[in-house]
């Protein structure tokens, strides 16, 4: 019987959590301006009067000079008379619909096949767009724990002191993912070695039988 020497897999160094978290925070800060711009635009639209409001009496409307259209440029475009409200594009409704979709996505966010860093990045993006769903640190940690895969969440919450801060929660999740992947890799190597050993045994058995018959 052929003996196979099994070599222990070389474990890569554990990731630098401080560097990983710092890179994630830097990426999230770059998205803050875009988020603020979207909410400022929505706030400005909420201050505009609705297009279906009743116009004021004619004697209260200040005199407005009639517009002078540029005929070649505005040919075929209807121009409303002075004092008559013109329908604006439904920008307000579009933004509200986008925010509703983002809230639903945030409420049902799951890690799935994403890595911890990918899931946390997605989580922070939606959290900035939906601050009303995470009003404090405790709620943010609770939703993040709900987002993680079951095997990672169990290790993150293990011990006598579950995480109460987002930074601690992320650090624990990164470490849990690292060791879970290491365990999977070790199991895969053992399974591969056993499979190769069985294949070699099957190949040598017919040869040994033939030699014995001779």
Tokens of 117: 């860093």
pLDDT in tens, the chain (214 residues): 445 555 555 565 666 666 766 666 666 666 666 676 777 776 676 665 555 555 566 666 555 555 544 544 444 444 455 545 545 455 567 777 888 888 999 999 999 999 999 999 999 999 998 999 999 999 999 999 999 999 999 999 988 899 999 999 999 999 999 999 999 999 999 988 888 888 887 777 766 666 666 6
Task: For the chain, give every domain's residue range.
Answer: 18-44+92-203
Spatial neighbors of 110 by CB under 8 A, at least 6 apart, are: 147
Residue indicated by tokens 């995470």: 134
Secondary structure of 176-212 as H, E, C letters? HHHHHHHHHHHHHHHHHHHHHHHHHHHHHHHHHHHHH
Total-model pTM: 0.54
């Amino acid at each position: 019987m052929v003996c196979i020497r099994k070599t222990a897999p070389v474990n890569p160094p554990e990731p630098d959590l401080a560097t990983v978290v710092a890179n994630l925070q830097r990426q999230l800060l770059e998205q803050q301006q875009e988020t603020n711009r979207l909410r400022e635009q929505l706030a400005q639209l909420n201050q505009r009067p609705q297009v279906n409001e009743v116009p004021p009496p004619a004697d209260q409307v200040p005199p407005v000079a009639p517009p002078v259209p540029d005929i070649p440029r505005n040919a075929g475009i209807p121009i409303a008379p002075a004092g008559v409200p013109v329908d604006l594009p439904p920008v307000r409704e579009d933004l509200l619909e986008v925010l509703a979709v983002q809230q639903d996505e945030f409420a049902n966010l799951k890690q799935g096949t994403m890595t911890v860093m990918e899931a946390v990045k997605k989580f922070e993006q939606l959290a900035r767009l939906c601050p009303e769903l995470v009003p404090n640190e405790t709620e943010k940690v609770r939703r993040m724990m709900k987002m993680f895969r079951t095997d990672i969440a169990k290790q993150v919450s293990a011990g006598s002191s579950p995480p109460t801060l987002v930074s601690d929660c992320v650090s624990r999740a990164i470490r849990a993912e690292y060791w879970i992947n290491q365990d999977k890799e070790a199991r895969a190597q053992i399974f591969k070695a056993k499979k190769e050993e069985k294949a070699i045994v099957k190949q040598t058995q017919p040869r040994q039988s033939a030699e014995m018959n001779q």
